[in-house]
Amino acid sequence: MRVKVFSAPSMKEALERIKRELGPQAIILKTEEFRNKVEITAATDVDYPPLERSQSNAKGIWDTLDQIREKVDSISQLLSTSPLLSDSPLSKLFLELLGRRIGEEVSLKVVNDLRRDDPPSQGGWEELKGKALSHLSLLLPSEGIRESPKGPTVVALIGPTGVGKTTTASKLAAQFSLLKKKKVALLSIDNFRPAAGEELEEVAQTLDIPFQVTKTPEGMRKTMRDFRDRDFVFVDTAGHSYRDGEQIFELRNFFKHYPPTETHLVLSTTTKPEDNLEAWRRFRSIPIQKLLFTKLDETLSPGGMVEIIVKTKRPVSYLTNGQRIPEDIWEVESRALAEIVMGERTL
Ligand SMILES: Nc1nc2c(ncn2[C@@H]2O[C@H](COP(=O)(O)OP(=O)(O)O)[C@@H](O)[C@H]2O)c(=O)[nH]1
Ligand SMILES: [Mg+2]
């Protein structure tokens, strides 16, 4: 297996060079787009001459090479039946999925599942894209807020600083009280800032709904007693990014005393997928039921949501696409999610 990185000003030129140098059997392992160039890592089944381990003491390099070989081998196994650089619609689809930032693993899975389709696709590009959409929608579960039959439904929003938790809590409170005519309360858990909850206080006043700030787990119990006649309580949480660890520990303490009905991890689509995955890892010591993605109006690549949805196996509750309260929040079905990540529709 021979692996090489190709750099060129455009995707087309890079692909042509790969075809020329590695032949049409080459497969693409990774694509990266920069401002003025693209970099494609490609591989072909032509073996390097065996490497002499005794020539070098750099054990780390050998280990790394072994890992790369293993990865390449497993990917090449997956792709063994048809070369991705052929002009087939499947290879075009693979590039399209990668270009939409859907991530290598999921893109490969979709393409390979479609390749194994029985009977195989005879149609052209449009048919294949339609199938990819159906396939993607199976990978992207969605579920809005479910009202619990007894007591208030308590919905907590957790996540990194600045992603839009407070704004989203306001939107939800407004939607549920004004449009759904539910009895709503707002609660802010914030034990860091002395003047916590000012934004929500204003929203609560405008909506004429109760609002409280809780700074201790014991306080939360009392607040929940006060809110027992409500249908929904939306819980905003706060903290400083550099103290995330501490914030998560504190939140766990709060939720141990009073577990929310649903906890949604709020993530911004303007954040890199790997950073969102890291946020998931940090926050997951708190039980998380759903994912909520914000700032779709500020990203050109909503496909970045796919990897984390697939990896966490959590449904998407809402998407938000602006700062307006309460308009810019949407409950979306799986099919619509797939269309959004494929650039076939916007919110
Ligand atoms: N463009 C855009 N901005 C948003 C969206 N949601 C929130 N914001 C903005 O993001 C910033 C941080 O939001 P905030 O709710 O304070 O984040 P928090 O720290 O998670 O509570 C504010 O300026 C919000 O107006 C959205 O969907 N789109
Ligand atoms: Mg906030």
Tens of pLDDT along the chain (347 residues) come to 778 899 999 888 888 888 888 887 778 888 888 888 888 888 876 554 444 555 556 677 777 787 787 777 666 655 554 445 566 788 889 999 999 999 999 999 999 888 887 666 666 788 889 999 999 999 999 999 999 998 899 999 999 999 999 999 999 999 999 999 999 999 999 867 666 678 899 999 999 999 999 988 888 889 999 999 999 999 999 866 555 677 788 888 889 888 999 999 999 999 999 999 999 999 999 999 999 999 999 999 999 999 999 999 999 999 999 999 999 999 999 999 999 999 999 88
Other Cβ atoms closer than 10 A to 181: 9
**Cα–Cα distances in angstroms (integers) from residue 131 to residues 73, 123, 288, 337, in the given order:** 28, 11, 31, 15
pLDDT score of 82: 47
Here the tokens at position 270 are 């303007």
Other Cβ atoms closer than 10 A to 311: 15
Ligand 1 centroid, distance to 4 Cα (angstroms): 41
Among the bound ligands, the one closest to the CA of 167: 1
pLDDT score of 122: 66
Work out whether strand 184-189 and strand 38-44 pair parallel, antiparallel, or are unpaired. Answer: unpaired
* Domain boundary assignment for the chain: 1-82, 87-139, 153-341
Which mutation among 170, 267, 323 tests ligand 1's pocket best, with the greatest number of atoms within 8 A of CB? Answer: 323
Judged by DSSP in three states, 63 sits in helix
Contacts of 163 (CB under 8 A, 6+ apart): 266, 267, 268, 271, 294, 295
Among the bound ligands, the one closest to the CA of 189: 2
Binding site membership of 44 for ligand 1 (Cβ less than 6 Å): no
- CATH label, 153-341, candidates 3.40.50.300, 3.40.50.720, 3.30.1650.10, 3.40.50.150: 3.40.50.300
Please report the DSSP string for 146-163 in residue order.
Answer: PPPSSS-EEEEEE-STTS
Q: What's the pTM value of the predicted model, to 2 decimals?
A: 0.78
Contact status, residue 112 vs residue 91, Cβ threshold 8 Å: no
Among the bound ligands, the one closest to the CA of 169: 1
Ligand 1 closest atom vs CA 236: 21
Q: How far apart are CA 3 and CA 47, in angstroms?
A: 9
Closest residue CA from atom 1 of ligand 1: 322
**Cα–Cα distances in angstroms (integers) from residue 178 to residues 182, 231, 311, in the given order:** 8, 13, 35
pLDDT score of 88: 75
| Residue in the structure block whose two tokens are 């990540």 | 341
Crossing angle (nearest 10°) for helices 104-115 and 125-139: 120
Binding site membership of 298 for ligand 1 (Cβ less than 6 Å): yes
Q: How far apart are CA 33 and CA 7, in angstroms?
A: 10
Binding site membership of 226 for ligand 1 (Cβ less than 6 Å): no
Going by the DSSP 8-state scheme, the letter that residue 184 receives in this structure is E
Ligand 2 centroid, distance to 316 Cα (angstroms): 20
Binding site membership of 171 for ligand 1 (Cβ less than 6 Å): no
Q: Which strands sit side by side in the sheet containing 316-320, from one edge to the other?
A: 211-214, 184-189, 232-237, 153-158, 262-268, 290-294, 316-320, 329-330
Ligand 1 closest atom vs CA 159: 20
Binding site membership of 264 for ligand 1 (Cβ less than 6 Å): no
**Cα–Cα distances in angstroms (integers) from residue 232 to residues 90, 246, 330, in the given order:** 47, 28, 18
State the distance between the two ends of the chain, measured CA to CA, in whole angstroms.
44
Ligand 1 centroid, distance to 294 Cα (angstroms): 8
Which mutation among 167, 189, 213, 234 tests ligand 1's pocket best, with the greatest number of atoms within 8 A of CB? Answer: 167
pLDDT score of 240: 60
Work out whether strand 329-330 and strand 316-320 pair parallel, antiparallel, or are unpaired. Answer: antiparallel
Ligand 1 centroid, distance to 295 Cα (angstroms): 7
Binding site membership of 334 for ligand 1 (Cβ less than 6 Å): no
Binding site membership of 240 for ligand 1 (Cβ less than 6 Å): no
Binding site membership of 13 for ligand 1 (Cβ less than 6 Å): no
Q: How many helices (H) and strands (E) does the chain have?
A: 12, 11
